[in-house]
Amino acid sequence: MYSEKVMDHFQNPRNVGEIEDASGVGTVGNAKCGDIMRIYLDIDGDGIIRDCKFKTFGCGAAVATSSMATELVKGKSIEEAMKVTNKAVMEALDGLPPVKVHCSLLAEEAIHAALWDYAEKHGIKIEGLKEPKADIHEGEGQEEY
Ligand code: FES
């Protein structure tokens, strides 16, 4: 059901932990399953993401996608990090089962929330970045998924 890469990142997640005095921190939840993800970014004066760590209280797919997402944004510029969508994370993991696609949204939203926090602290605007939601289902109806 899961690709080897998903299993690998679930069993040996990269970049678990927190960054003290992080440049930006973002937390996003999924009220439907109760999972929570927090991403920490360390961004230098040139706007390069020097380090990225995460803490995920969630399912295996959420752990694997956060692990891969942190690997993908590390060493990148803010503009490049903006391109790390949930689709990009899933591709890097060789896919996720359809019922687990929503889990990868947490990773994308948590990165955006951390970038938003960074932008707010530095009084800058990041092209294409929208104010983050506290929950990925915020603003949606009650439909099943
Ligand atoms: Fe909640 Fe995967 S089931 S994030």
- Can you give the pTM of this predicted structure? 0.93
State whether the beta carbon of 30 lies less than 6 angstroms from ligand 1. yes
State whether the beta carbon of 101 lies less than 6 angstroms from ligand 1. no
Task: Compute, in angstroms, the gap from residue 45 CA to the centroid of ligand 1.
Answer: 35
State whether the beta carbon of 103 lies less than 6 angstroms from ligand 1. yes
Residue given tokens 């970049």 in the structure block: 15
Task: Compute, in angstroms, the gap from residue 28 CA to the centroid of ligand 1.
Answer: 12
Run of H or E including 134: none
Task: Tell how many helices (H) and how many strands (E) occur in the chain.
Answer: 5, 3
Range 4-122 classified under CATH 3.90.1010.10: yes
Tell me the per-residue pLDDT of 27-71, one tens digit each, with 9 for 90 and over: 999 988 999 999 999 999 999 999 999 999 999 999 999 999 999
Tell me the per-residue pLDDT of 78-105, one tens digit each, with 9 for 90 and over: 999 999 999 999 999 999 999 999 999 9
